[in-house]
Amino acid sequence: MKILVVNCGSSSLKFQLIDAVSEEIIAKGLCERIGINGSQMVYTPKGGEKKKTQAPMPSHVEAIQLVLDALTDAKTGVISSLSEIGAVGHRIVHGGEKFARATIITNEVMKAIEECSDLAPLHNPANLIGITACQKLMPKTPMVAVFDTAFHQTMPEEAYLYAIPYSYYEKYKIRRYGFHGTSHSYVSKKAAEVLGREYTTMKIIVCHLGNGASVSAVENGKSIDTSMGLTPLEGLIMGTRSGDLDPSIMEFIAHKEGKSVDEIMNVLNKESGVLGLSGGFSSDFRDLEDAYEAGQTASVRAMTAFAYRVVKYIGAYAAAMNGVDAICFTAGLGENSPLIRKLIGERLGYLGITIDAEQNNKRGEDTVISTKDSKVKVLVIPTNEELAIARETHCLIKIS
Ligand code: AMP
């Protein structure tokens, strides 16, 4: 069975067509600037050339139509008809407390996703638009929703509650949800596999370090804590997001700079993180690393603070689980940056961790980067959220 994995943003749509049995990517691509002038689709069939198509995409319906046309195109297509697509797996950002696992999409599920839009006003509406567009063009194909928050629904109350009046939790469901769940689940399982250990008896810390970044504590196969909260703003320092801070800072900036709440939120989401710490130099870790190596003060400051925050979370989660067997690095930065892993690893000696410098320089494959005698294993595991979504979708379709 072939599964189409769809990840819709407000003006973008990423897709992969995956063979559920061989787990091969048959085609992949991206539609950008949906609803804006200059829309284009980038499409790459397996073993073929990347092709860019400029075409108007006033909405996600036209974008999906272009994707389906490309997939079935006589020359560059990879399937002969849409009936070869057995199911569509949709990445949904927020499932609130309603969804602790992936689910087949029904009208009730659509309504429940809509009800969670309050919690993810930028993402859930876009995800819903993507589902509706696919349903319109593939009315008979089953659709599955896979939630970013679902894996973390196993967090205990003491980890997910904020110490604010409990009535806010009861009335508005203000609590910590966590994100990147598909990645944390995939990477932690894979780490157990690579180490030849039983997943359900391990204590694993996953560091998903990309433009958005989060750490999770996975004990016996269940997420028991994670660094993102009600929204993806909490936790680690990120590309442009501040991560943890004293909430009073908002009031302070409001008074000093005459900014509204919306303006301050924009600063915390878009102008902070390593971009802010580097004095506006860059949010891209490749730029920061080059400048760090050259000794540029602003980048040294940003990279050092970033690594320090990760080290603090690792310590907290080792304490929360009363130990740790393995620490995993994943996502753009975690997978590709020996430097950041070194900066973090050299502060973990108290856990009996030593990083093997040679192993740490490898890229793009599952690798144990700690030395043989390291008490806690440290691994690089490239994440694959699309494959994880395809697996969950296939699993649900098979049993339905
Ligand atoms: P993601 O959000 O997972 O796509 O990760 C994006 C982040 O990973 C960006 O800040 C990139 O600069 C960073 N990144 C990607 N490749 C590298 C690399 N080779 N070295 C350092 N950082 C990288």
- Answer yes or no: is pLDDT of 399 > 80: no
Q: Name beta bridge partners: 143.
A: 88
- The pLDDT confidence band at residue 335, using thresholds 50, 70 and 90, is very high
Per-residue confidence band for 398, with pLDDT thresholds at 50, 70 and 90: confident
Portion of the chain with pLDDT greater than 70, in percent:
100
Cα–Cα distance, 322 to 139 (Å, whole number):
50
Beta bridge partners of 219: 203, 222
Give the residue carrying structure tokens 């690393």.
Answer: 289
The closest of 209, 399, 385, 207 to 285, measured between CA atoms, is: 209
Q: CATH 3.30.420.40: which residues of the chain?
A: 2-147, 197-385
pLDDT in tens, 17-73: 999 999 999 999 999 999 999 999 999 999 999 999 999 999 999 999 999 999 999
Q: Indicate whether residue 339 lines ligand 1 (CB < 6 A).
A: no
DSSP string, 97-124: TT-SS-EE--HHHHHHHHHGGGT-TTTH
Pocket lining: 363 vs ligand 1, CB cutoff 6 Å: no
Q: What is the pLDDT of residues 298-324, one digit of tens each?
A: 999 999 999 999 999 999 999 999 999
- Decide if 148 is catalytic: yes
Which numeric CATH code is attached to 197-385? Answer: 3.30.420.40
* Beta strand pairing call for 143-147 and 85-92: parallel
399 exposed, middle or buried (CB, 10 Å; 0-12, 13-18, 19+)? Answer: exposed
Choose, from 19, 148, 287, 325, the residue flagged as catalytic. 148
What's the CA gap between 114 and 96, in Å, rounded? 11
- pLDDT score, position 41: 97
Q: Compute the distance from residue 274 Cα to the ligand 1 centre, in Å.
A: 13
Q: What are 276-294's pLDDT values in tens digits?
A: 999 999 999 999 999 999 9
Please say if the pLDDT value at position 218 is more than 80: yes
Which three-class secondary structure state does DSSP give residue 291?
Answer: helix
CA of 134 to the centre of ligand 1 (A): 31
Q: What are phi and psi of 72, to 5 degrees?
A: -105, 5
Predicted confidence (pLDDT) at residue 169 exceeds the cutoff of 80 = yes
Shortest-distance atom of ligand 1 to CA 383: 3
CATH label, 2-147, candidates 3.40.50.300, 3.30.420.40, 3.50.50.60, 1.10.1740.10: 3.30.420.40
